[in-house]
Amino acid sequence: MAGPLSSNPLGIIRWVSRMYVLKFIRGQGGDTGNGDAVAVEFRLLCSGELYNSAVLTTDWRKSIATRLLVTKPFELIVSSHPFDEYPQELAMRFAVSIVTETKASGVAMFYPDEEIARDLAAMLTLLLRRLITVCAKVREVRPREYPEEPSFPRDYPLGFVGSSTPVSWEMKPSVVVYGRDGIQEITHYNPPPLGVDPAQLTKRLETWASASWSEALLRSARLYSVALQEIERNPGMSYQLLVSCVEAIAGEVLRDYAPTRSNMLEAKKSVLELALTMGLNQESAEALALEATSGMSWARRKFSRFLLDNAGDEIWMEDDLFHPPDTLLPNRDDFEGVLKSIYSARGGATHSGRPFPDSAGIGTGPTVRSSVMIDIDFSSPSLPIPPVVWFERVVNSALNHFIDSATVSGNALL
């Protein structure tokens, strides 16, 4: 199962500098009416089953109408047959106009369809909490250059089998628990079906694209998408990406954040104590300690503040996507302390190369390595940090509640 970090090591770098998808959603990057637009079709893979929940039917798998998930500013259609094929295949269709970029070394003209498709997949991954990735570009229809031009050169068949990059979660078996009277419990470890309301999804995308924080949230979505691609095979990397995902949006939304005076003094407690031992009075020592905080980014506090302010109550309920054991999950009273531990663990991994504990990977599937369970001290009131699937849910909840609050109020719009 190839991933973006192996098949395209420059993928994230290419993502960072371009934001064409936001203009596209706002209606500024599609067909401009000048006859220069190219119609394209991409095939996406969804680790789960999506269907149109706005269609009234007794069985969505038997209705053609339930296959149409989005109609604007792009079309998203379930193309898998049968409906619940895993991973589910989606067809994404849209039109995009040519763009011109002027750089120091020259001028480039191109169609940003691949960048738009990849970003739309990342945005859908965040909004729907299902891993959705671009597998291949399968069709491109160019505009007619002259009236008599035949259709063949304009609608030229694209080869994609050899160049496709299928990325999805592994299909997992169900676990059946038998008792004296037969089957007692069945746990399904694949994502359950998810209904999509096209009108609501379009409104959330439009809110996102029109907001003052749209670019910061897109950067977060890109990191979140890669985090979900890595969550099964590399939970430590996924943890780091999820922390960075929160930082990307928290730094923008809370750019004017300042901690309380007591928090600032606590952050520079060593300076305060040194000043007192050197003979400064309390007032002067505190003034020196406060001055020492000048220029601090307060990244950890912004990280915690964003999650505390936006994560919903559902994070304390049973999760239907991942299944970490309840005994390994933190409780509500420890939430802020757990976030601090997670941020510290990320710092240790980034700056000192210290790995995340093996317990971080528990919950992505029905099995756990025996060596992981042996290392867990179940007599301890809590783990150093919870499984990454718990933290993923916290991050997703906070980001989606943040988007929804803007959708309702409109206060974040430009």
- pLDDT at residue 139, rounded to an integer: 92
- pLDDT at residue 178, rounded to an integer: 80
In a domain, 103, yes or no: yes
Q: How confident is residue 99, by pLDDT bands cut at 50, 70 and 90?
A: confident
In a domain, 325, yes or no: yes
Cα(187)–Cα(64) distance, rounded to whole angstroms?
30
- pLDDT at residue 266, rounded to an integer: 77
- pLDDT at residue 162, rounded to an integer: 84
Count of CB atoms within 10 A of residue 302's CB?
21
User: Does residue 245 carry a pLDDT above 70?
Assistant: yes
Q: What is the mean pLDDT of the chain?
A: 85
Cβ(119)–Cβ(130) below 8 Å = no
Q: What is the dihedral of CA 288, 290, 296, 299, to 10 degrees?
A: 140
DSSP one-letter string for 141-153: EPPPSSTT--HHH
In a domain, 271, yes or no: no
User: Does residue 351 carry a pLDDT above 90?
Assistant: no
Q: What's CA 13's distance to the chain center, in Å?
A: 17
Q: Are residue 190 and residue 314 in the same domain, yes or no?
A: no
162 φ/ψ angles, rounded to the nearest 5 degrees: -75, -25
Q: How confident is residue 12, by pLDDT bands cut at 50, 70 and 90?
A: very low
In a domain, 39, yes or no: yes
Q: Are residue 183 and residue 323 in the same domain, yes or no?
A: no
pLDDT for 384-412, tens place per residue?
A: 789 999 999 999 999 999 999 876 655 54
Cβ(123)–Cβ(129) below 8 Å = no
Query: CA angle at residue 175 from 172 to 180, to 5 degrees?
Result: 170
How much of the chain exceeds pLDDT 70, in percent? 88
Q: Are residue 37 and residue 183 in the same domain, yes or no?
A: yes
In a domain, 232, yes or no: no
Does residue 255 or residue 118 have the better pLDDT?
118
Task: Tell me the average pLDDT across 9-21.
Answer: 58
- The domain containing residue 38 runs over which residues? 4-158+166-196
How much of the chain exceeds pLDDT 90, in percent? 49
- pLDDT at residue 280, rounded to an integer: 84
Counting beta carbons within 10 angstroms of the beta carbon of residue 42, is it exposed (0 to 12), middle (13 to 18) or buried (19 or more)? Answer: buried
- pLDDT at residue 30, rounded to an integer: 61
Q: What's CA 222's distance to the chain center, in Å?
A: 6
User: Does residue 11 carry a pLDDT above 90?
Assistant: no
Structure tokens at 178: 């038998």
Q: How confident is residue 328, by pLDDT bands cut at 50, 70 and 90?
A: confident
Name the domain count of the chain: 2
Tell me the whole-structure pTM to 2 decimals: 0.86
Q: Are residue 179 and residue 66 in the same domain, yes or no?
A: yes
Would strands 194-196 and 50-52 be described as parallel, antiparallel, or unpaired? parallel
In a domain, 55, yes or no: yes
User: Does residue 93 carry a pLDDT above 90?
Assistant: yes
Picking from 34-38, 120-124, 316-320, which range would have the lowest pLDDT averaged per residue?
34-38
In a domain, 278, yes or no: no
User: Does residue 35 carry a pLDDT above 70?
Assistant: no
In a domain, 279, yes or no: no
Q: What is the dihedral of CA 285, 290, 291, 295, to 10 degrees?
A: 160
pLDDT for 198-212, tens place per residue?
A: 999 999 999 999 999
pLDDT for 141-198, tens place per residue?
A: 988 777 777 777 788 888 888 888 899 999 988 887 787 887 777 778 899 999 999 9
Q: Of 93, 98, 80, nearest to 35 (Cα)?
A: 98
- pLDDT at residue 378, rounded to an integer: 63
Task: Tell me the average pLDDT across 341-348.
Answer: 88
Cβ(330)–Cβ(338) below 8 Å = yes
Q: Are residue 187 and residue 308 in the same domain, yes or no?
A: no
Rg for the chain, CA atoms, rounded: 24
Q: Are residue 306 and residue 190 in the same domain, yes or no?
A: no
